[in-house]
A and B are shown apart, each in its own frame.
Chain A
Amino acid sequence: MGKRILIVDDEPNIVTSLEYLMKREGFEVQVAVDGEAGLKAAAGSAPDLVLLDLMLPKMNGFEVCERLRADPRSRGMKIVMLTAKGRQADTARGMAAGADLYVTKPFSTRELVAQVKQLLSAPG
């Protein structure tokens, strides 16, 4: 059974590119365009991994991440934070919120795919 990936981002072009990349690798892809929708989607379909933007309408990525980690059902979910905010402090806060990985935009597509695969093959 293919792994499921949830993309939460409000930038349509980025969503398109991520969707294309993940589908090409054989993952099942679901999309949400704001923080609240992202949480709802995560609760509903229980994806294996979330690609989470930081600057989201309605609820920012940090909060989405913290809430996912707080919920026992989604605690084991892999979370990759994708953000255009590259300051040291932002990275630290992202890791503190419970992300497995913090990727700064613009990212290398190859690296991102490789990191997602590695996260999904790891136990737990």
Chain B
Amino acid sequence: MLQGWVIVLVAFAYLGVLFAVAYYGDKRAEAGRSIIANPYIYALSLAVYCSTWTFYGSVGRAASTGIGFLPIYLGPTLMVALWWFVMRKIIRISKAYRITSIADFIANRYGKSQILGGLVTVIAVLGVVPYISLQLKAISASFTILRNYPNVLMPVHATGQSFANNNALYLALLLAAFTILFGTRHLDATERHEGMVAAIAFESVVKLLAFLAVGAFVTFGVYRGFGHIFQLAQQERRLQPLMTVPETSGSYASWGSLILLSMLSIVTLPRQFQISVVENVDEDHLRKAIWLFPLYLFLINIFVLPIALGGLMLFGPGVDADTFVLTLPMAQQQKAIAVFAFVGGLSAGTGMVIVETIALSTMVCNDLVMPVLLRWKSLRLNERPDLSRLVLLIRRCAITVVLMLGYIHFRVAGEAYALVATGLISFAAVAQFAPAIFGSIYWRGGTHAGAIAGLSGGFAVWAYTLLLPSFAKSGWLPGSFLTAGPMGISLLKPQELFGLTGMDEISHCLFWSMLVNVGLHVGVSLLGRQNANETEQATLFVDVFRRTPALERSAFWRASASVDDLLPLIGRFLGPDRARELFIAYARRRGADSLEELSADADLVAFAENQLAGAIGGSSARVMIASIVQQQPPGIDEVMNILDEASQVRAYSRQLELKSRELEEATRELRAANKQLQELDRMKDDFVSTVTHELRTPLTSIRAFSEILLDDPEIRLPDRKRFLATIVKETQRLTRLINQVLELAKIESGSAEWHTTELDVKDVVRESVETTSQLFRENRIELQTAVDGELLPAVRADRDRLMQVLINLLSNAVHVCRPGEGRVEIRLGVSRGFLQVDVRDNGPGIGPADQETVFEKFRQVGDTLTGKPHGTGLGLPISRRIIEHFGGRLWVESDLGAGATFSFTLPLERPAAGAGETVAQVTG
């Protein structure tokens, strides 16, 4: 027999050592000489992963499935290899925004959502409580078993003893007290617990040594080495399957899903997040942890198979394999090793419970209780001078409640499952955080609604496929729920959902819950929109490596608050002295000598929020700061206001985007217009240059002859006459040119006056012929007029301008014909609603290339003629514009050497009947 008080004494002694280590760690931290600031301590503290499940449960699982215990350790080993990319990012983000828990992390990413933080907390508590109960069960069982030393009696057989029922309660209370001492001695802005980490690292050493001691004893003390054990086991037919992977398809699937599950859990378990992220001192420690932690897992697993096989060979079926680590030394009368094994199991259990409950209590306090209390206006919490005591009280209560929940679970459902199975149910619950966490650091598009939908959906599926069945197995629900499905609907059988069979319950749950979780997360995110707040947080998280390490700025705060407002607020949570220190340090960083000099800007507000976030979580901190910034007690309305403001900013930015697109469009149009203007400018420049040239030419003659006449009074009379006649003619030419340029400008600018009347073209032609008859006579050129049909319909035109066109065409015709041989013919006719006038000559004609050129300004086609062409080069362009003004067309048809025909058309006046028709159509 081993006296109960001896075991209790050993346990207390151990816990006392643990507390001493923690106390020393805290003292060193306060002195600024941290003992945990090295990668070995960090890697050892990560081994909090190995709870009693590992210490006792691995052997139990190995005894039933052989190497099936391995996936739980292969997963983390694989995951840790990726940590430099994954965990470093999570750590960087958490440090930058003073994230205190996994709930805080997820809530922060999706817009500092209190709802999300609360949801994560609830899932974590519900998921992890069975896991905590598992530790209580293992420790209390080990205590009961050890008490019967050297007799190996299972606790199930010892239920008659009243102490067995109560020792788990005492243990839970003891652990609660211990955890409160460890984790909630004071409230810190960084929420780090150096002493606790030191104790956890110490515990990792103890449990590893204990397990190695038992393993070595069994392998080398009881047997003669590894080879001996495996050789003996090989001879027993019932043990052979343990040394191979069972050759059913399901076993590979379940290996895969267990590896995946444990890969996710090493990140998403609240205690792992606490240790690997929140308690991390330096992200460089990851470099060593990447290989040290797998090495630890390797060492603690190396004796699992030998112990399992040894136990199976030595004990009959009456001994639970989960107890082999303890019962093997007992059976061999090795009191010291048995006690050491007990201490190892105790350390594995306490380590897990302490860290897990601290993590959970932080979440419960920051993400569940504080937000509710802060919104509860009648409590007037925001007016209380010191809230740090309240926060600590809430955490202490949370720790006690969580441990009591664990105890209740142990009492009610604890016997239904083996250690490993309970652990896996917890793994599957916390694995639901994985999509939200990995999404938050790699996918910018995830939304608040998507995260909530994914988490809720995944959690619901977990509850339906794992939690309810565990209730059914405990007898709380009828067994038919499992075997026939709810209300007899077999498609809804919780462990064969929609007919999915051939998987173990964990793989089945993992498949459906991840499908629903990821599907909802992605689907709802893609369908919805982020608000400005979410967009900002998404960018801060995903792009954390692109930002400066000193991340104390948030774009969220556009308001400001003074030090006088902020300091007391922070002081209420962190204590006035500590708050003052922090503010002074901040002021120094900003280059201010004292607090009074600190400018009350958005940076300062963000800094204060960040400090507060470390103590009470991101979402609560935001509400508290908002109350100060707005000088009002916080409430749902104020928070809504902030969000409204954010969505307004978003609306502005959308408008801005729209405006900038319009601006781009306008710029493009302006560029095109500018190009057109440049082209016009060039054309105008050319025009001016050409006009200048045309003006200078007659001026040259006028000046030259005038100077000749002036210089030489003795000049002969015929020459004098000839020169003066030239001067007169050139002056006329100059006048004509100026008139035509002005006229063209007027027509082109649309400012010309038009006296449009109904007129008979025959009259206009007759008048034009009369006007030019002198010219024709002088050049001895014949002119004929022919009219098709007796009566020509009237047209609407300006009589003088139409005459100008006709005279221009007639005089052009005269000038291209050889004197004495020329013949010009005018023909009038009607075709297709137009009146047409042709002026035909028998001059040299115009080549096809020049038939359009003649209508361009100053483009006389005189090259084919002998001598200088007559006129200004503006007659035809002006004529064409006049005809076009009346709605007609002016063109030339010609063959070189066969004369040319200039024709124009004018639209006929509509007959009265036609006009009537139009009106009828309109009114009808």
Contacts and interface: CB of A to CB of B under 8 A. Distances in A.
Interface string B706-725: 01100110000001000100
Interface in B685-733: 689, 692-694, 696-705, 707-708, 711-712, 719, 723, 726, 729-730
Given A86-B692, A110-B711, A17 B705 contact: yes
B917 interface: no
A105 B863 contact: no
B589 interface: no
B697 A21 contact: no
Given A16-B726, A20-B708, A84-B693, A107 B868 contact: no
Interface string A5-46: 000001111101110110010000000010000000000000
Contacts of B867: 10, 12, 33
B572 to A, nearest CB: 82
Nearest to A11: B697
B887 interface: no
Given A13-B726, A109-B707, A110-B711, A86 B701 contact: no
Given A13-B726, A13-B730, A57-B863, A105 B707 contact: no
A121 interface: no
A14 B704 contact: yes
Contact of B699 (A10, A58, A105): A105
A21 B707 CA distance: 10
Interface residues of A, number: 26
A18 B726 CA distance: 14
Given A13-B730, A85-B689, A85-B693, A106 B868 contact: no
Contacts of B694: 84
A10 B868 contact: yes
B689 A107 contact: no
A30 B700 CA distance: 20
Contacts of B696: 84, 86, 104-106
B862 interface: yes
B702 A106 contact: yes
Contacts of A18: 704
Interface string A82-124: 0011110000000000000000111111100000000000000
Given A57-B862, A85-B693, A87-B689, A11 B701 contact: yes
Contact of B708 (A10, A17, A106): A17
A108 B701 CA distance: 11
A30 to B, nearest CB: 18
Contacts of A11: 697, 700-701, 868
A109 B697 contact: no
Interface of B: 689, 692-694, 696-705, 707-708, 711-712, 719, 723, 726, 729-730, 862-863, 867-868
The 4 lowest CB-CB distance pairs between A and B, nearest first, are A17-B704, A84-B696, A13-B701, A105-B700
18 contacts: A10-B868, A11-B868, A14-B704, A17-B708, A18-B704, A20-B708, A21-B704, A33-B868, A84-B694, A84-B696, A84-B700, A86-B692, A86-B696, A87-B689, A105-B696, A106-B702, A107-B703, A109-B708
Given A17-B723, A84-B700, A108-B707, 6 more contacts: A10-B868, A13-B729, A13-B730, A17-B705, A107-B700, A109-B707
